[in-house]
């Protein structure tokens, strides 16, 4: 979650039930403006990789 730009907001204790028993849940969030920055950085990295592959094929 942190790698994709999300921020840790907190933890709720003993809130989830599953086959393994009761567990805690962690909460993450991201603002729309922060998400757009992550997308822009990712697109830039993809463009750089594509260009380097294209140049190496020449």
Domain boundaries, the chain: 2-57
Instruction: Give the residue from 2, 3, 1, 6 showing the smallest Cα distance to 32.
Output: 6
Do 17 and 10 meet the contact criterion of CB atoms below 8 Å apart?
A: no
20-41 confidence digits (pLDDT tens): 899 989 999 999 988 888 888 8
What is the pLDDT of the chain when averaged over all its residues? 87
Q: Could you give the C-alpha distances from 34 to 2, 7, 9, 28, 29, in angstroms and in order?
A: 12, 10, 15, 13, 10
Q: Does residue 11 have a pLDDT over 90? A: yes
């Amino acid at each position: 979650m942190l790698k994709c730009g999300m921020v840790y907001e907190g933890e709720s204790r003993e809130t989830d039930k599953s086959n393994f028993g009761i567990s805690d849940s962690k909460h993450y969030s991201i603002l729309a403006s922060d998400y757009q920055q992550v997308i822009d950085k990712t697109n830039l990295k993809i463009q750089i990789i594509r260009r380097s592959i294209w140049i190496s094929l020449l």
